[in-house]
């Protein structure tokens, strides 16, 4: 069907080199009529306010609106829209919830923004195989609500209630990755509309792999299950190149993800949250390293620095110690939990922790974690009217203490307002910097600080982005990270899949 349409649309609309001129707002009436013929007139908008809304995400990148916004209802319509844009040379920007942090939806060359949220079906749930297929309009919270009484859940949690397909597109992760992995380990298959309108199933249509049998009882093996529980690539398949892996993290530059097959996990039997404060950054990070080395299967381990704790106290009217603090969460059976808590308390106390609190009841736990969940807003409240910019480096855990201590010093020396919060169990941390959007000089200093931090992470064999992606701002750092041959290979892949350079132009490469 799609290929038939492609053939016909090719004939109907010859290439007009739309984007090579870089002109915006230049969609012809005939082209708009063709969009309307695919999705129906009410599902196409050229209204300024709608376009503005779709030209930005939650970052401080200055963005441009697309020329039109289109709402397809199904994958067939997406294929036809892509084919139409392809043959007219019009850029395509896939749009989910707009919660990205690197300007990934910015329409730098104008074009058509495809808002995929009307496609919101949970297509197929396979509880026995621990997998589910979802469309782009399904967010992680919606999926977990749907799974509520199935005994299963999807643990990847970047904070925002993002679209799961968008999370696949950006290689998202967040607080649970230390135990359950990131999107890279949890995406089993993707349905992708290629720029010319062809449909690709990256692992073959309908394919999802069965987990290892012992993944059913994560707690049964006690402490020792930590590392092997979701070891990346443990799923068996030796069938050629890993196309799924190619599209995870491609940020809409290779195709439009219209469905994703996800690996589900058994919902934890019981959960305990804990928090403790430390005399120094070093002591907090050393504790993290020791907890991981002792193979305590911690589900979340988050670091907040003193500035962040102060901001959180003010914002939430609390009185936690204003000191480097760890927030932890443990999942497992009652018995396993008691043991995990005991080990964690022992290790943190050995590193000089004070005030080790823990909470078991859901309400108490959520009160304890409120601080972590509201961290972004707490920092923003430090200087009302300012925007937040979050750096996102990640280093091997052994190098984490030195880079955190250094960053803290650099931050003080820079005179910028910023706080540190991190998924330290993965070696990933964010420096949330405040910037007055009306002050170009400050903006410049923030960008310079972020670039320098990215380079420090690279020097320690880390990455410039643990989870936010490259988007607009980190293209230079990507080149430094993967090297000339790496970038050249990426460009060749991009040129092969998107020869006209229409998929989300200006991002990643
Ligand atoms: C995308 O479309 C959905 C459904 O109509 C809408 O709720 C959402 O606000 C749109 N996104 C933006 C950025 O306007
Ligand atoms: C292929 O990549 C996907 C997504 O990153 C990953 O989940 C899967 O385990 C990989 N498969 C193999 C066989 O390595
Ligand atoms: C805050 O201070 C009050 C009074 O000193 C105390 O009762 C309460 O436990 C403290 N709360 C926290 C979160 O430390």
User: What tokens were used for 290?
Assistant: 């020791």
- Polymer length of the chain: 509
Q: For the segment 254-277, what is each residue's pLDDT rounded down to a tens digit?
A: 999 999 999 999 999 999 999 999
Give yes or no for residue 301 having a pLDDT over 60.
Answer: yes
Confidence category of residue 371, pLDDT binned at 50, 70, 90: confident
Residues 6+ apart with CB under 8 A from 229: 179, 180, 215, 218, 297
pLDDT at 360 over 50: yes
Q: Which phi and psi angles does 366 have, rounded to 5°?
A: -70, -30
- Same fold for the pair 268-382 and 383-477: yes
Longest dimension (CA), the chain: 73
Q: Pick the most confident of 90-94, 379-383, 398-402.
A: 90-94
Structure tokens at 328: 């932890």
| Percent of the chain surpassing pLDDT 70 | 89
Atom 14 of ligand 1: nearest residue by CA position: 53
Contact 260, 190 (CB under 8 A): yes
Task: Indicate the range of 2-6, 42-46, 63-67, 291-295 predicted with least confidence.
Answer: 2-6
- What integer is the mean pLDDT of 476-484? 96
Average pLDDT, the chain: 89
**Using a 6 Å cutoff on CB, does residue 53 contact ligand 1?**
yes
- The whole-model pTM stands at 0.89
Using the mean position of ligand 3's atoms as its centre, give its distance from the Cα of residue 280 in Å.
Answer: 22
pLDDT value at residue 372: 87
Q: Which ligand is nearest to the CA of 309?
A: 3
With a pLDDT cut of 90, the percent of the chain lying above it is 81
Domain layout of the chain by residue ranges: 30-118, 122-207+248-266, 268-382, 383-477
CATH of domain 383-477: 3.30.70.2740
Token pair 């995929």: residue: 116
pLDDT above 90 for 90 = yes
- Residue among 102, 105, 40, 51 at smallest CA distance from 74: 40
Closest ligand by atom to 117 CA: 1
The answer, yes or no, to whether residue 226 has pLDDT greater than 90, is no
Enter the DSSP assignment of 124: E
Pairing of strands 265-266, 152-153: antiparallel
Quick one: CA dihedral 492, 493, 499, 502, positive or negative? negative
Give pLDDT tens digits for 19-46: 333 445 579 999 999 999 999 999 999 9
Sheet holding 131-134, edge to edge: 122-126, 131-134, 256-263, 187-193, 199-201
Q: Point out the ligand nearest to the CA of residue 236.
A: 2
Task: Evaluate if residue 296 carries a pLDDT over 60.
Answer: yes
Please state whether 19 falls in left (phi above 0), alpha (psi between -120 and 50) or beta.
Answer: alpha
- The pLDDT of residue 20 is 37
- pLDDT of the residue at 26: 76
Look at ligand 2, atom 11, and give the residue with the nearest C-alpha: 233
Banded model confidence at residue 97, pLDDT cuts 50, 70, 90: very high
- Whether ligand 1 lies within 6 angstroms of the CB of 54 is answered as yes
The CATH architecture annotation of domain 122-207+248-266 reads: 2-Layer Sandwich (3.30)
Å from CA of 314 to ligand 3 middle: 14
Burial class (CB in 10 A: 0-12, 13-18, 19+), 462: buried
By most ligand atoms within 8 Å of CB, the mutation choice from 235, 243, 265, 467 for ligand 2 is: 235
Predicted pLDDT at 323: 96
Work out the average pLDDT over 356-378.
Answer: 90
Region 40-65: mean pLDDT is: 93
CATH class of 30-118: alpha beta
Q: What is the pLDDT of residue 236?
A: 65
Phi, psi of 494, deg, nearest 5: -60, -45
pLDDT tens digits, residue range 173-217? 999 999 999 999 999 999 999 999 999 999 999 887 654 433 433
CA of 319 to the centre of ligand 3 (A): 6
Indicate if the pLDDT at residue 245 is higher than 80: yes
pLDDT of residue 182: 96
Question: What HEC string does 435-460 produce?
Answer: ECCCCHHHHHHHHHHHHHHHHHHHHC
Task: Report the C-alpha gap between 420 and 430 in whole angstroms.
Answer: 6
Could you tell me if the CB of 319 is within 6 A of ligand 3?
A: yes
Q: Which class would CATH give 268-382?
A: alpha beta
Angle at which helix 29-39 crosses helix 75-88, to 10 degrees, equals 170
Q: Beta-carbon neighbour count of residue 298 at 10 Å?
A: 23
Ligand 3 atom at shortest distance from the alpha carbon of 318? 13
């Amino acid at each position: 069907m799609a290929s038939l349409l492609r053939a016909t649309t090719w004939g109907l609309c010859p290439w007009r080199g739309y984007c090579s001129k870089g002109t915006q707002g230049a969609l012809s009436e005939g082209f708009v009529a063709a969009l309307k013929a695919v999705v129906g007139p009410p599902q196409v908008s050229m209204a300024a306010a709608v376009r503005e809304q779709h030209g930005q995400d939650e970052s401080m990148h200055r963005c441009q609106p697309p020329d039109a916004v289109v709402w397809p209802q199904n994958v067939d319509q997406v294929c036809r829209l892509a084919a139409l844009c392809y043959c007219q040379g019009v850029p395509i920007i896939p749009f989910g919830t707009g919660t990205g942090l690197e300007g990934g939806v910015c329409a730098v060359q104008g074009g058509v923004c495809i808002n995929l949220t009307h496609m919101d079906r949970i297509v197929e749930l396979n509880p026995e195989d621990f997998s589910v297929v979802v469309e782009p309009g399904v967010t992680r919270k919606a999926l977990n609500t749907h799974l509520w009484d199935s005994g299963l859940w999807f643990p990847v949690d970047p904070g925002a209630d993002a679209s799961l397909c968008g999370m696949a597109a950006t290689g998202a992760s967040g607080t649970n990755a230390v135990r359950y992995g990131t999107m890279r380990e949890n995406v089993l298959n993707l349905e992708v509309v290629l720029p010319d309108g062809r449909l690709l199933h990256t692992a073959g249509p309908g394919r999802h792999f069965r987990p290892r049998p012992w993944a059913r009882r994560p707690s049964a093996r006690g402490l020792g299950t930590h590392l092997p529980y979701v070891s990346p690539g443990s799923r068996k398949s030796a069938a050629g190149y890993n196309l799924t892996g190619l599209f995870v993290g491609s940020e809409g530059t290779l195709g439009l993800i219209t469905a994703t097959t996800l690996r589900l996990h058994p919902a934890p039997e019981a959960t305990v949250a804990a928090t403790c404060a430390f005399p120094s950054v070093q002591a907090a990070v050393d504790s993290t390293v020791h907890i991981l080395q002792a193979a305590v299967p911690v589900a979340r381990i988050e670091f907040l620095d003193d500035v962040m704790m102060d901001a959180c106290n003010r914002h939430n009217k609390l009185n936690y110690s204003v000191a480097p603090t760890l927030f932890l969460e443990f999942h497992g059976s009652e018995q396993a939990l008691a043991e995990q808590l005991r080990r964690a308390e022992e290790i943190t106390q050995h590193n000089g922790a004070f005030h080790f609190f823990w909470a078991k009841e859901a309400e108490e736990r959520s009160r304890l974690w409120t601080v972590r969940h509201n961290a972004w807003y707490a920092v923003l409240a430090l200087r009302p009217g300012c925007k937040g910019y979050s750096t996102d480096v990640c280093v091997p855990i052994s190098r984490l203490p030195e880079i955190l201590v250094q960053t803290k010093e650099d931050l003080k020396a820079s005179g910028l307002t910023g706080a540190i919060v991190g998924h330290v169990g993965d070696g990933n941390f964010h420096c949330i910097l405040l910037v007055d959007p009306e002050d170009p000089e400050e903006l410049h200093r923030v960008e310079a600080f972020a670039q320098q931090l990215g380079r420090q992470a690279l020097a320690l064999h880390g990455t410039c982005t643990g989870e936010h992606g490259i988007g607009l701002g980190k293209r230079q750092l990507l080149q430094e990270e993967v090297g000339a041959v790496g970038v050249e290979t990426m460009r060749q892949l991009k040129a092969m899949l998107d020869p006209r350079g229409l998929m989300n132009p200006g991002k990643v490469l």
